[in-house]
Structure 1
Amino acid sequence: MSRNVHSVSPADAVEILQRTMPFSELPQDELMSLAKVCSIDFIPAGLRFIEQGKTAVDYLWIIQKGGVKSYLINDDGGITLLDIQGEGGTFGALAIVRGSLANFNVETVEDSFFYRISKQDFQSLMGRWPAVAQFYLRTLSDAYVHKAFAELRRTRHPADSGTRLSLFATGVGEVVRRELATINADETIRSAAERMGRAGVGSLVVLDGSAEADKSEVAGIVTDQDFRDKVAARGLSVELPVREIMSSPLLAVDEATLCFDALLTMMKNQVHHLGVRRAGRVQGMVTAHDFMTLTGRSPYSLFKDIVGETRLDGLARLAKGIPDVVRALFEEGARAGKVGRMVAVLNDLVLERLLTMLQEELGPPPLPFCWLSMGSEGRREQTIRTDQDNALVYQDYGQDYGQDTGQDPKGADADLKARADEYFARLGRRAGECLVDFGYPRCPGGIMAENPKWRMSLSAWKRQFTEWIARPEPEQVLFAGIFFDFRPVFGYVALGEALRDYVTPLAAREEVFLRHMAADCLRSRPPLTFFKSFIVEKDGEHKDALDIKGRGVLPLTEFGRVMALKHGLRETNSLDRFKALAELGAISAEFHSELREAYEFLMQVRIASQLRQMDEGRQPGNHVNPGRLSELEKRTLKEAFGVIGRMQSYVRETFRLNV
């Protein structure tokens, strides 16, 4: 064995340290001090120079040139490959941090040169910079992921120093501006109006008992709108007790709740006032106006306009403004998960207003129905607008609810079926046309409610899912992957919930079907070479770019789906699925954290790229050029792809896939 250890030029060492996480985050003087204690070592190809459980790790190793593989040897002699690293890769830190022998084997795959930092010097560095140890304790360290998120945001909004009070950094308690105004439930409507006028407020919290918030239970809320809608419009006596016009219960959140989440709660529940709890009791109030004042461009203003819109052309104009909300939220510092939830609320509201208007145009439906959203919208993960993915389920036309046998009906049932077929065909067609006008392109695969294949009775849908699960052929698995993420969004939602009640336990017990679904998680490999360089398109429209959706986001959503089906979970959102799996103990807390951070970072890079493409006058797509990312962003992106590799190994083992 040839081993040559030499001192190294500090300038050369600084150069590589500046390109290597986490050292690239250290100040220049610290890097120079570290460079002075580096040595350089050469190890020829094919040498296993660190052995798991045997080698005392006395150095942190940084690959200057060449490459290594790290692996475990199992009790039965089998080998589990852990990682392949090229230039800039590091190893040895975890054993030093934990004070253990080597955790795995390391072998050179070609002649390699390394920078080495002694255990004592590395421990001294960690003493001065604890974040260095934290980086190695977690692959996707919070500190560095947050910095990578911040860099993505700065590339979009460089003038923003990040000090602005925002929806994503402010607890709702900080927005409360005045003492809580209250009234007893037995006091008169006249007294309530006078008190609101004197206090200059638009609402009063109604208390059941003493009119002191800390001594009484909150019964509800009365607002100036209640005076307009319930007193003036209905001619009620102002001498009636205020409990007659109050809204109950009062919706409230804890003071530590982020303003974004509080705003989302208001929008979902279509309320304008929200109680704020301190120490378990309502002691403050915030309004939609408070949030608009906070940011100057709250999504709530668009939300209010959509709620009040009564014309299709006006609704189209408002729907086309939703991508601007994505831009504003991104520049405020929102992560992709929160953006998706906000966009889902707005999209759902657009759909609700559209289908309400279409029912006014077409008349009442002959049968109760439920509109289903699928794909990214079903998962509440839509950002920049994508294609339509929707379907429709209606009540069985048989006399006994849920007893549609699939046979051609006769008599009155046949007439009802004919009317239902005609009505829902017109509704699906008109909705599809309008959604195109609103900026939502038709699904290229025809997965829309205007397609008769995806417009069925509840019993027919049950038969369809049963067939997909029973015959897990490629086309069936493809459709199941799309439709299993359905979410009821409008109409008689109990129909959608009934379908979910049927499908969830059915899928969980079909092991063959689940194995076919699991195999989908393995189709797209992370776009990294043997030595962790990005694999990009060599020519064509997407030259020098990689498909971040197909090679990154999609495998993670497919993993969340199949694991949710396996464990009988009803969640459709990927982040919610990861969380529920961790709470069940199906995945470890550490793996959950890695999945969450990887998914959100991949989505964040995708959004940033799409916004940049729009700024350049191009159609937003899913290909990202890594060359336009910072070193920190590229490193974090590689780590995120590394999580996908570990996820795929987990899937192979869990579902016994020898792929």
Structure 2
Amino acid sequence: MNSQQPYSRHADISTQKVSELIAREPLSCPPSTSVAEAARIMRDHQVSSLAITQAGTGTLLGILTVRDLTHRVLAEGRDHSTKVHEVMTADPASLPTNALGSDILHYMLKNKVGHLPIVDHGHFVGMITQTDIMRFHAVSAAVLLTDLAKTDNVADMASISKHIPSLLVQLVGANHTHEVITRLISDIADTITRQLLKIAEAQLGAPPAPYLWLACGSQGRQEQSGVSDQDNCLFLDNSVSSDDMLYFSQMAHIVSDGLNACGYIYCPGDMMATNPYWCQPVRVWREYFHNWSVTHEPASQMLASVMFDLRPISGTSSLHRDLQAETLEMASKNSIFVAHMIANSLLHTPPLGMVRGFSPLRTGPHRGHLDMKLNGVAPITDLARIHALQGRIPDVNTRARLQAAQEAGIISTSGASDLIEAYDVIAMMRLQNQANMIKNGLEPSNYLAPGDLSGFERNHLRDAFIVVRTMQSALSNNYSALR
């Protein structure tokens, strides 16, 4: 299999000709068209913009968007018979068909526009929109997923997974939100895992008992970025025998080794299904959680937090579903356990200095940098997990947890809104920094140099950190009340 060629057309929008990016046939109307008719054309074709061209010549005269109809027609109280030439944007900027995708991205970002006409020797030939750009990237991710689903060997999967960094750069460059980017990247890890499980079953034969492979950590929360190790475990049916364990041990090694070959390095903490501790029947997992909930030690709280971030990837999902409901109910009723979980969640704090500045790392190879994982997204992830525990919320995704906690009344509307916005800022800056590192030929990491940010960005990041610290303080007060 040639692992490079399938992505030459899809992977890098910046090098694509504009003519290859036009998603539909040109749609236009003459300047004498009424705004009512123009609106009907846009509605019927499900588009948000319309080119205004000279009848007979196709010369581009202007552009009309849904925003124009709102701001220049409805808001101004104009009659529906108003001609489009009276409200259109005349002589709009355009690009020729031989321009590159990088020209589109540059112009849209610089001028904050969502529609860009394309012309060929003065004649309108099509429209490029932000939706087209998003569709292009979605197709890129879909191509990776489709090709992964067709593979039956680790070498091909490893070749395909090498495109993940460029996909991250493209998604960040297209201004996708962080939850979209991390979801797509997590979907790729999920697909690789499922294919590796198929390979394992093909090599080992049918499993001797029902099983469920689960992801934890960032993959479990569907929040993987450009830097990911593997965190996983196996839930086995209680009917499994001691003789059957060899099968699942071999399965775990096939999958874990395959993930490592695809760039998901072995977990430094050995939190993987290859570790017998993390490959057990459900009855043992139930005992684990009971012991963690009554043993109030830091290690127990850390292990318990893992339980709440598990997400089934492949197998018999009921092996986890019932236990998840049990543990949420049991844990939420145990005030001492909740208090210790809160204390554990407050160990990671935002890197704020004494005088509204940052407090970067002072020693080590990343001295002078901010750890955007441990001191950035992790404190918010921990807060969201606690709120999910308090509200018995089954979601494991951080943003989904915060939204559900708001709806359940666990967090105030204003508090949830502020924390979600802070999370969006921190998580997005983390991804932007990783994308910049990849573009500069570096291995992406979680370390950000404050000096690389503009003053505007530094202010926003600092404000986001302050929100997180404020929410941690409020949670700490609750912890004091529980003790």
TM norm structure 2: 0.71
Query: Structure 2 counterpart of 1:442, which letter?
Result: Y
Residue 295 (structure 1) shift: 5.1
CA contact (8 A) 1:472 1:513 kept: yes
2:154 pairs with 1:330: no
Distance in 2, matches of 1:510 and 1:293, equals 47
> Map of 1:102-117 to 2, 5 A cutoff?
none
What secondary structure does 1:472 align onto?
Answer: coil
2:206 pairs with 1:364: yes
Match of 1:472 in 2: 296
Match of 2:241 in 1: 417
CA contact (8 A) 2:227 2:446 kept: no
Distance in 2, matches of 1:310 and 1:658, equals 53
Which of 332, 351, 360 is equivalent to 1:508?
332
> Map of 1:452-463 to 2, 5 A cutoff?
452-463=276-287
What secondary structure does 1:656 align onto?
Answer: helix
2:391 pairs with 1:567: yes
What secondary structure does 2:411 align onto?
Answer: coil
Cα 1:657–1:318 change in 2 (3 A) is farther
2:305 pairs with 1:487: no
Distance in 2, matches of 1:323 and 1:346, equals 12
What secondary structure does 2:106 align onto?
Answer: coil
Cα 1:584–1:293 change in 2 (3 A) is closer
Cα 1:547–1:565 change in 2 (3 A) is same
Give the structure with the larger helix fraction: 2
Distance in 2, matches of 1:437 and 1:313, equals 8
Query: Structure 1 counterpart of 2:185, which letter?
Result: V
Percent of aligned pairs with the same residue? 30
Match of 1:354 in 2: 196
- Matched residue pairs, number? 365
What secondary structure does 1:418 align onto?
Answer: coil
2:108 pairs with 1:163: yes
Structure 1 spans left out of the alignment, 5+ residues:
1-156, 171-257, 260-289, 398-415
2:255 pairs with 1:310: no
What secondary structure does 1:370 align onto?
Answer: strand
Match of 1:431 in 2: 255
Structure with the larger RCO, 1 or 2 (CA within 8 Å, 6+ apart):
2
CA contact (8 A) 1:375 1:486 kept: yes
> Map of 1:242-391 to 2, 5 A cutoff?
294=136, 298-391=140-233
Distance in 2, matches of 1:158 and 1:515, equals 54
What secondary structure does 1:304 align onto?
Answer: helix
Distance in 1, matches of 2:399 and 2:270, equals 28
2:480 pairs with 1:656: yes
CA contact (8 A) 1:292 1:298 kept: no
Distance in 1, matches of 2:357 and 2:481, equals 27
2:338 pairs with 1:393: no
Query: Structure 2 counterpart of 1:459, which letter?
Result: R
Cα 1:353–1:634 change in 2 (3 A) is same
CA RMSD of aligned residues (A): 2.4
Distance in 1, matches of 2:425 and 2:336, equals 33
Distance in 2, matches of 1:504 and 1:549, equals 26
CA contact (8 A) 1:448 1:454 kept: yes
Cα 1:657–1:550 change in 2 (3 A) is farther
Match of 1:557 in 2: 381
> Map of 1:558-597 to 2, 5 A cutoff?
558-597=382-421
What secondary structure does 2:187 align onto?
Answer: helix
Distance in 1, matches of 2:314 and 2:356, equals 46
CA contact (8 A) 2:211 2:237 kept: yes
Match of 1:182 in 2: none
Distance in 2, matches of 1:381 and 1:169, equals 27
Residue 471 (structure 1) shift: 1.1
What secondary structure does 2:233 align onto?
Answer: strand
Match of 1:642 in 2: 466
Cα 1:381–1:158 change in 2 (3 A) is farther
2:450 pairs with 1:626: yes
Residue 612 (structure 1) shift: 2.4
Distance in 1, matches of 2:439 and 2:133, equals 27
Deviation string 1:547-584 (CA, Å, 9 cap, x unpaired) is 12211211110010011111111010000000001101
Query: Structure 2 counterpart of 1:476, which letter?
Result: S
Distance in 2, matches of 1:539 and 1:464, equals 37
Residue 434 (structure 1) shift: 1.1
Deviation string 1:98-151 (CA, Å, 9 cap, x unpaired) is xxxxxxxxxxxxxxxxxxxxxxxxxxxxxxxxxxxxxxxxxxxxxxxxxxxxxx
Residue 540 (structure 1) shift: 3.9
Residue 169 (structure 1) shift: 7.2
What secondary structure does 2:394 align onto?
Answer: coil
Give the structure with the larger strand fraction: 1
Distance in 2, matches of 1:638 and 1:303, equals 37
CA contact (8 A) 2:169 2:439 kept: no
Residue 658 (structure 1) shift: 9.7
Distance in 2, matches of 1:296 and 1:651, equals 38
What secondary structure does 1:488 align onto?
Answer: strand
Residue 358 (structure 1) shift: 1.1
Residue 655 (structure 1) shift: 2.6
What secondary structure does 1:371 align onto?
Answer: strand
Distance in 2, matches of 1:626 and 1:340, equals 23
Cα 1:537–1:439 change in 2 (3 A) is same
Residue 298 (structure 1) shift: 2.5
What secondary structure does 2:105 align onto?
Answer: coil
Distance in 1, matches of 2:338 and 2:267, equals 26
What secondary structure does 1:456 align onto?
Answer: strand
TM norm structure 1: 0.53
Structure 2 spans left out of the alignment, 5+ residues:
1-101, 116-129
Query: Structure 1 counterpart of 2:151, which letter?
Result: E
Residue 616 (structure 1) shift: 3.5
CA contact (8 A) 2:165 2:438 kept: no
Residue 539 (structure 1) shift: 5.0
Residue 292 (structure 1) shift: 8.8
Distance in 2, matches of 1:373 and 1:459, equals 19
Deviation string 1:270-313 (CA, Å, 9 cap, x unpaired) is xxxxxxxxxxxxxxxxxxxx889745963111121112222222
Query: Structure 1 counterpart of 2:144, which letter?
Result: L
CA contact (8 A) 1:552 1:644 kept: no
> Map of 1:195-206 to 2, 5 A cutoff?
none
